């Protein structure tokens, strides 16, 4: 394990300029993707992505794909990440900062669908050390059934981050409209992060 971690970060540091050039110009991008796939997948069934950082130019994230055991590994890998002026490193998908709760998903026909979650509501039901989360989304009637789970999953990661989702949420259900019992206990989605984070 330690050798794999050393190999990842040794390559990353030596290839930093090449990685940035691939991001900015596309030149050599296939080689960069192939090499990162090789290094990251050597730890297990992880995914990764590079995007604009919050505090630095770029962010490199290794995601445990919602798996609690893999989260321990990704945390260990990122703990050994180098300090680089252009990069921030994350052991799971981060919540979006100051976002408007609007996002895009692709449905089962690969069409883009815009989701506006700003007026959603929720109910949290305690389940031992975690919660059952039920979301009320009155504006998702245009989303096909196969994409509904992706909508819920993406929203929770954008709102709370992957680590909170793994550690605190046992299950997620998305409804177009709450029945009376849930309706009496619903809370604005704006309060969810304060309640769980």
Q: What is the mean pLDDT of each run of 10 residues along the chain (197 residues)?
A: 96 97 95 98 97 96 97 98 98 95 88 93 94 95 85 96 97 93 94 94
**How many residues are given for the chain?**
197
Residues 108 and 52 in one domain: no
Asked if 134 contacts 156 with a C-beta cutoff of 8 angstroms, the reply is no
Asked if 74 contacts 92 with a C-beta cutoff of 8 angstroms, the reply is yes
Asked if 105 contacts 147 with a C-beta cutoff of 8 angstroms, the reply is yes
Residue that finishes a domain, picked among 61, 90, 119? 90
Q: Quick check: is 65 in a domain?
A: yes
pLDDT at 175: 93
The token pair at 99 is 């976002």
Residues 85 and 112 in one domain: no
Q: Quick check: is 97 in a domain?
A: no
Could you read off the pLDDT of 68-105 as tens digits, one per residue?
A: 999 999 999 999 999 999 999 999 999 999 999 999 99
Residues 184 and 107 in one domain: yes
Residues 10 and 83 in one domain: yes
Residues 158 and 112 in one domain: yes
pLDDT at 55: 94
Q: Quick check: is 60 in a domain?
A: yes
Rounded Cα distance, 124 and 196, in Å = 10
Q: Name the residue range of residue 48's domain.
A: 2-90
For residues 129-141, b (16+ Cβ closer than 10 Å) or e, as one string? eebebbbbbeebe
Q: How many domains does the chain have?
A: 2
pLDDT at 144: 84
């Amino acid at each position: 394990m330690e050798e794999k971690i050393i190999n990842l970060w040794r390559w990353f540091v030596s290839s930093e300029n090449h990685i940035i050039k691939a991001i900015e110009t596309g030149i050599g991008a296939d080689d960069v993707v192939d090499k990162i796939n090789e290094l990251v997948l050597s730890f297990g069934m992880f995914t990764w992505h590079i995007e604009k950082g919050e505090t630095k130019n770029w962010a490199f994230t290794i995601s445990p794909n919602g798996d609690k055991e893999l989260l321990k590994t990704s945390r260990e890998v990122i703990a050994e990440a180098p300090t680089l002026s252009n990069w921030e490193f994350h052991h799971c998908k981060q919540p979006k900062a100051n976002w408007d709760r609007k996002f895009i998903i692709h449905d089962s026909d690969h069409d883009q669908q815009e989701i506006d979650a700003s007026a959603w509501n929720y109910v949290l039901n305690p389940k031992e050390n975690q919660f059952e989360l039920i979301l009320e989304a009155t504006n998702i009637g245009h989303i096909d059934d196969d994409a509904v789970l992706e909508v819920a999953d993406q929203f929770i990661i954008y709102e709370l981050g992957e680590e909170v989702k793994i550690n605190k949420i046992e299950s997620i259900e998305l409804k177009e409209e709450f029945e009376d019992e849930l309706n009496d206990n619903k809370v604005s989605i704006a309060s969810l992060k304060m309640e769980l984070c």
